A = this chain, B = another copy of it.
Amino acid sequence: MEQTTDRINLNPSTLLAPVPVVLVSCCGRSGEIARANLITLAWAGVVCSEPPMVSISIRKSRFSHRQISETGEFVVNLVNEKLLWATDFCGVKSGRDIDKFAACQLTPVEAPGMELAPALAESPLSMSCKVRQVIELGSHDCFLAEVVAVTASSALMDAENKLRLDRTRLVAYNHGDYVAMGRLLGFYGFSVASPDVLARRMPRKPVQAERPTTPGGRSRKRKPAANKKTNDKGRL
């Protein structure tokens, strides 16, 4: 194996990027935790396709940790640029001290499949989640949860009733920064797609700069794989 000299060693840390940033809504059942709350999380990811499952990780000390631990349910609300101020604010304040919905002038609405946890009306898309497993890892507990229902703004649906997440301005979290989504670079399967699929799906050519020009099993001159079926759903 080769060795490189232009790389440096960094301390081990959570440098995965970009990651999502979401507003998770929840509500406890009893006592002081029995009220709707929001928590901002970037430690969230997809963990399974069938059943559809996501993970969220929360510090034990958080108010929302108590709420979600008690009820076993929460709603993951996607964040667009309109929600960014509230998203940051909900990430630095505690639901123990303030009503975050009121403080940010946001609206809790009924979430399908949830007993208590509300969805966030202002979010472009909300996933109702039921906790299946909690794993203690150290600073954070990891909640593995099944997505049992999804609601979305009707403005995200196109004429063919397909979900178009590109119609809202989602935000990514990148090592302490909130970053806007930029231009479309390609779609899942573009590297093996036929010219007609490429022409239909890409407003301009996908990134090809680093496509190998000498064959390592393939070359630019190969026939278009006209029968190649790619998975439009983008399941990786």
Contacts and interface: CB of A to CB of B under 8 A. Distances in A.
A147 interface: yes
Interface residues of A, number: 129
Given A103-B218, A163-B10, A232-B176, A42 B46 contact: yes
B6 A154 contact: yes
Interface in A71-104: 76, 78, 81-86, 88-89, 91-93, 98-99, 102-104
Nearest to A97: B217
Contacts of A17: 20, 78, 125, 165, 170
A184 interface: yes
B187 A8 contact: no
A1 B45 CA distance: 28
B140 A47 contact: yes
A105 B15 contact: no
Interface in A150-192: 150-155, 157, 163, 165-166, 170-192
Contacts of A176: 187-188, 232-234
A137 B52 CA distance: 9
A175 B164 CA distance: 9
Contacts of A61: none
Nearest to A6: B154
Contact of A210 (B36, B85, B166): B85
12 contacts: A9-B112, A12-B127, A12-B146, A12-B149, A16-B44, A18-B172, A93-B192, A165-B175, A166-B177, A173-B234, A178-B186, A179-B182
Interface of A: 1-4, 6-22, 36, 40-55, 57, 76, 78, 81-86, 88-89, 91-93, 98-99, 102-105, 107-110, 112, 118, 121, 125, 127-128, 133, 135, 137-140, 142, 144, 146-155, 157, 163, 165-166, 170-192, 206-212, 214, 216-218, 230, 232-234, 236
